[in-house]
Every structure is written in C-alpha cells, then in structure tokens.
Structure 1
C-alpha cells in the first residue's frame, strides 16, 4: 500500500477499571489507504469505538505508534491533537452532540469559525443544503427529528472538507430507512470531498458498502474473518 493515510503499529490501549487495569486494544497493526472506505465491525466490547477514538486522537494509546497524514499522534499533547483534528478530520458520533442553543446553521459553522474560515456561514449553508436541510437552517436541534439532527452532524463534520471522516455508529439511533438515507449522505460527502472514511457499525448492510471490512474481537484484529 503506497503511503497509507493512517498507519498503526502495535497500538495498545489500557484503561483503569473498577477491578484494575483493563486491556481494551491489544496490539493493533493496520494501514488505511488514502480515499479508502474502511468498515470496523465486531461484537459489543470488541474495541471498535476505542480504535476509532485512537485514530481521532480522542484517546491516547498506551503504547505503539499511530501515524495519521505522516504525523505521529502518540507524540502530541491534547492541544496539538485538537488542532490536528480541527484541521484534518471530521467526526460523526451515534449521539449527535449538537449545541441545543444554536441553530442548525450555527452548529455547522462552529468548526469553520474556529478554523478561521472567512465564509463560514456561507459554507455551512451549502453543506446543509447538500444534506437536504436547506429549509431547516434556522431550526434548533429540539425542532428537528433524529434523522435531521444526524444530517446536521454530518454537515458539521464535512464542512471543513476534512481529509479523514470518522463515523462511530452514525445510524445506531435511527430507524432502518432513515439510517440508509444517512449512509447514502455519508458516502456522498466522502465522494464529494475525496475523504478517507473509517466507519464503525453493527449493521452488515452498511459495512458491505465499504471497500474493506476489518473485524475486531477481544481488542484484536480477527484476521480469520477479515473481508477484502
């Protein structure tokens, strides 16, 4: 694989639990190509979301190396990771994490304003129109359905035009029809911005739309069930 955009070498994550230390990820080595769509699947507790958190610099690896766009995330402090994430990544969670006192337009414009984008609100409006919410830009999250709130979250993640999109169960709180529509939008955003997409999902039909599927089990890659 020529110059992977994401590269992990023996990445491990150990957290403190009630009964002592718990090994969450146990030596993950993985490369992701630029422009690839990678699906992370596996049973609950297998480490899928934790792996995504490492990729986004939202958790620090206990040991090993995590290289993203040629930068070693394990050498960065929290401020450096936050800036790196702001400049290069979009993250979509199962919970929408919208600010309730801000309109859809304001929620999408926030990361753009933080990045110093001059036309933050114009670009935010374009992204909301791209996910079919042009008529809802002045609405607050409480005035939107779950599917509409996730569309706002998608627009917010895509507005900075990130090189990498990370999505953690983005359809988990939605019904099947709405979830499929959200996945269509996510794939469309990836295509429009040329982003690399890493997706955590329990839904086989969503994973099947990825270029490659990686299965985790007990904090390790299940190499016996990796699909091409």
Structure 2
C-alpha cells in the first residue's frame, strides 16, 4: 500500500511582483511515498524550486493543503515549521548556505545542538567522515572548494537522520566530476538513513536515478511517471 510522507492537494502559489500578483503554481496535487526518490524536472521558471520550498514549509501555499508525515504544514506558524524541519527534514541548496564563521564540524553540529543531541560533535564528525571530509573538519567554508562545501552541506542535512531529504539543484554550482560525486553521496545518504528524497534538477541523467520523475510545465504537473529501468 502507498504510504505518502508528503501529500499536496490543489496547491497554488502566487507571489507579488512588480506588475502585481504572479501565479507560480496552479493546482498541484502530488503524493510522495515513504522511501521513494522523486525527481522534479522542467524548464527554468516552471515552478520546481517553488514546489520544493512548499514541501519543506519554506514557502507558504496560497491555497490548497500540504501535509508532511501526517502533519498539516499549512496550519503551522513559522516557529512550528522551523521545529518540524529541524526534527524531520534535511534541505540541501544549490548555494550551500554554510555559516562562514563556523568550521565544517561546527556547521554540521549546529542543527544537532539545536535539537538537543548530546553527542552532536561526535555525530557531526562521523557525518563528515561519511562524505570524505573528516580531515577538513577544522576548515572554514572559505578554505574549501565548492565541491567540499556541498559535501559539508550534505553532511549537515543528513546528520539529524531526517525522514525527508529535499535537494534543490545540489550540483548546479559544481563541475561534472564533483556533481556526480555529490549525487553518489546524496543517494548513499538516502540509502544509509532510509530517507525519502525529493530532488530538483535540470539533469535528465540525475533524474533517471530516481524511482519516479515529475515534470512541471508552467506551474503544473505535465508528466508523472516511474523512471525507466
């Protein structure tokens, strides 16, 4: 039986622009099942990143309902959403979003400390080891390459053992070799922790590694199909 961890029903999103309100998403209905890997693809401006942000409670739907792990995200205030993400979600962005004044180890340990994990630094070190950066634990973001910074961001997202991993173009700022390595790590972390993974990507090759591919066009689901074997 399907076991959705994310469930969106008739979701719309409109944002105010210079010329007034602009429709971004139009009536999105979509379930993502436990343990599934879902690739969100489509041309620039199709609403992929906006949809991912709504799944993570980082953007509020204009209308419709968004449920994650049986909880209604649309009914939560900002503090409740932040706690829910802390406890249940890991988010990886294209631009890393590391704290520049913190070492790699401190960046990974911070969400664990906020969650009250007693062995936060030990677990953070283990996650850095898992992405091949144990030897860079004391380095600051400015001392690391883009690929290394994204590995730290992956370690930070996976350290709390999230049930849902959301990744927005995680290889967008990296060259081919680094991008492939990051995707191998991302899928490896998914396998290791059993998380559900939703991945926004422009790469058909990366999307094909997912169990299922959803194509967006003009803020609507244009295609929803199992990835080819």
Question: Shared topology, TM-score over 0.5?
Answer: yes
| Partners of 1:3 and 1:171 in 2: CA distance | 29
Question: Which position in structure 2 is the counterpart of 1:221?
Answer: 221
Aligned to 1:158: 158
Tell me how far apart the structure 2 counterparts of residues 16 and 102 of structure 1 sit (CA, whole Å): 35
Q: Specify the alignment match of 2:212 in structure 1.
A: 212
1:29-65 Cα distance to aligned partner (Å, 9 max, x none): 0011100000000000000000000000000111001
**Aligned pairs for 1:56-135 within 5 A:** 56-135=56-135
Distance in 1, matches of 2:79 and 2:163, equals 20
2: CA distance between counterparts of 1:87 and 1:137? 24
1:140-173, CA deviations, whole angstroms, 9 ceiling, x for partnerless residues? 0011000000000000000000000000000000
The answer to whether the aligner puts 1:3 opposite 2:3 as a matched pair is yes
Aligned structure 1 segments of 4 or more residues deviating by more than 6 angstroms: none
CA distance in 1, matches of 2:140, 2:181: 21
What is the CA deviation profile of residues 192-219 of structure 1, one whole-angstrom value per residue up to 9, with x for unaligned ones?
0000000000011110100000000000
Superposed CA deviations along residues 118-157 of structure 1, whole A, max 9, x for unmatched, are 0000000000000000110000001100000000000000
Q: Distance in 2 between matches of 1:2 and 1:144?
A: 42
1:182 is the counterpart of 2:193: no
Structure 2 residues without counterparts, runs of 5 or longer: none
Query: Does the residue aligned with 1:32 lie in a helix, a strand or coil?
Result: strand
- SS of structure 2 residue aligned to 1:222: strand
Query: How big is the shift at 1:227?
Result: 2.9
1:147 corresponds in structure 2 to 147
TM-score by length of 2: 0.98
The CA RMSD over aligned residues, in Å, is 0.7
> How many residues get paired?
226
TM norm structure 1: 0.98
Provide the residue aligned with 1:42 in structure 2. 42
Residue 25 of structure 1: aligned partner: 25
